[in-house]
Structures are given as C-alpha cells and as structure tokens.
Amino acid sequence: MNCARLAWLAALVFGLTSTAGAQDYSEKPIKLIVPFPAGGPTDTTARIVAQGLSARIGQSVVVENQPGAGGTIGARQAATAAPDGHTLLMIAIANTFGTAPLLYKLDYDPLRAFAPVATVVVDKQVMVATMSLPVRTPGELVRYAKANPGHLNYGAAIGIGPHFLMELFKHKAGIDIVHVPYRGSAPIIADLLGGQIQLTMSGKSVLLPQVQTGKLRAIAVTAAERWPELPDVSTLVEAGYMDAPYDTLFGVVAPAATPTAAIDKLNATINDGLRSPEIRAGFARLGIEPKITTPAEFAALIAEEAPKWAEAVRITGIRAE
C-alpha cells in the first residue's frame, strides 16, 4: 500500500477511536440519512438495512432522504449531527470519499467527519438504453454516436459514480453524448421509459428489473465479469472501453466522534441482519449480495477505492457548478 493510501487509512481509523459512552438505543429512534431521492440505489439499499437494524436493535430506524448537491447536503447534515449513535448516513464510497471532496467546496473533510460503521452491499453498474435506440452493444453505441454527434443524451446526477462512468466511457470511446443532470435515479428511469432521454448508467439494484421485463435494453456492465442474469451483455473492460471494473460499494457511516461502543454494536447488528435469510432475500431480488466487514475493514476499503474515483475526476475533468 502506497503512502497516499496509508494516509487515507490512518485518517479513517483515527475516527474509530472514541471511547465515550453512548446513549441507550431504547431512548430514541435512529435516523438513517440517505443523501439522494427515494427510489434510487442508495435509498433502496438503506431501506432494506433499516428494516433489519430496527428488528434487531429494538428501536425504530427512520430513513430520511436529504438529496441535493451530489449527496453533499445529506452528508453534511450527518457530519454535523450529535455523535451519539442515533444519526447514521448511507454512503457510496465512490461519491462521499472519492469524488465529492474534489467537486464541491465542503466545509468538512469526509475522512475526518465520518467513522466507518459497516459495509452493506456491492452494487454493480449497468449501462442501459431505451428500446427504440437501435444499438445493442458498446461498439454499436459508439458507431451510432459517431454517426450522430450530439444527438444522444444520458441522464445522471452530477458528480456521482454513474456520471463519471459515462464520462469515462465517452472519453475512452471518443464520442459526444450530452449529459442531462438529474437529482437521482428514480426520475431518470421515469424519463428513460418516457423517451425523454436515451441512456443512463446506474446500479443493478434498480435497472436489472427494468431490463428483465423488457422495458430497457442493457448495453454493457462495468463489472470484471459478465452477469449471470445477462450472459449476452459484455463488460466495458471486455469491449475495450474501460481499463478496470467499477462497482459501487455502499456502507453506513456515523459522525466521527461516535463512541466505539456504539460503532461496534451497530456493526454487529447490521452484520447480523445481512446474514439473515430475509435480508439476503431482499437483496437477492435486486440481484445484489451483502458485503460484511468490521469497521476497520470498511476503512481499508475506503482507502483503497476512493483514490480510484478521485482519479476519474482528473481524467474526465468534471466540475460541479
């Protein structure tokens, strides 16, 4: 591990060392902030996790959507919340720790503002198109885009993983596809189905059902291997339009000064839920699997993944308004 990654990991582990006492979870509900609109991958994942956590911790877990500014509005609310174990944030490493610090003038440092609690799932990404678009493969899409420059558009929230993946694809392929900004996945899917836009990239959890029911067409996936559910759909690495696989790892974080006892209890409780048949079945219906770690292992994953997404900011030159 190089010096930069060691620095990231040290900063994150530093956030795990508080030893002050936590409030009893029977006193008040837990708030799980989702920094994107309802209906997207982050929200869908959070609601399944909240169900399992509530059933095991003996207290209600309220999912609160706080969308805006590429997820940074909700993240800031969590960063400044009381560090008592009653406010949590559902994050994607790519966004919160990788791209947002470079895109926005944040008044907090995510590395020091948050303590990793538990990973949840790895949600693989898929590029989809409307059924009316006459392309079925990445190569066909590239040829169509080159023959019709500026004619195609895609929807994505500004500065999150799918936005960067589409721009990396465009950069590698040398094509012009217009970006249409959205606040989240739900309105993007609605406009795709309505024909207002032609393409998007998003998580397996929200797009696979649309593909399986024939409402949208899968063009490519970003994983290391083809999906069992879509064996005829190539990966972007395989097609030569991406240098490495890109998955979205979701997890739960808390304000940095949250007591270690609270972090450990939340980690154990979330992980217990992720092992349960009912939660695994909920994720299986979305085509994704739980990922279980300790807080320290989650910190190491953040240190490993975030720089890759920060590099995507440099390559694409994306800037947030």
CA distance 52 to 158: 31
Report the amino acid identity of residue 162: P
Output the pLDDT for position 321. 59
The tokens describing 317, both together, are 């030159």
Output the pLDDT for position 19. 42
Same fold for the domain at 3-123+248-316 and the one at 124-221? yes
Q: Is the pTM of this model over 0.75?
A: yes
139 HSE (CA, 13 A, CB side): 5
Return the percent helix, strand and coil in the chain, to nearest 5. 45, 20, 35
Output the pLDDT for position 73. 94
The residues that bridge with 135 in the sheet, in sequence order, are none
CATH 2.60.40.10 at 3-123+248-316, yes or no: no
Q: Which residue has the tokens 């949840």?
A: 120
Q: Which residue has the tokens 């450990």?
A: 264
CA 265 to chain centre: 24
Per residue of the chain (321 residues), give pLDDT as tens: 454 444 445 445 444 444 444 456 767 899 999 998 888 888 989 999 999 999 999 899 999 999 988 889 999 999 999 999 999 999 999 999 999 999 999 999 999 999 999 999 998 899 999 999 999 999 999 999 999 988 999 999 888 889 999 999 999 999 999 999 998 788 999 999 999 999 999 988 889 999 999 999 999 999 889 999 999 999 999 999 998 888 889 999 999 999 999 999 999 999 999 999 999 998 988 888 899 999 999 999 999 999 999 999 999 998 875
SS3 67: coil
Output the pLDDT for position 232. 97
The domain spans of the chain are: 3-123+248-316, 124-221
Tell me, what DSSP letter sits at residue 15? T
SS3 52: helix
CATH 3.90.550.10 at 124-221, yes or no: no
Residue 297 burial by Cβ neighbours in a 10 Å radius (0-12, 13-18, 19+): middle
Query: In sequence order, what DSSP letters do the residues of 205-233 get, joined into one string?
Result: HHHHHHHHTTSEEEEEE-SSS--TT-TTS
183 HSE (CA, 13 A, CB side): 15
DSSP strand pairing (30-34 vs 61-65): parallel
Residue 209 burial by Cβ neighbours in a 10 Å radius (0-12, 13-18, 19+): middle
Output the pLDDT for position 134. 97
Return all residues near 271 (Cβ < 8 A) that are at least 6 apart: 118, 292
Identify whether the C-beta of residue 121 lies closer than 8 Å to the C-beta of residue 290: yes
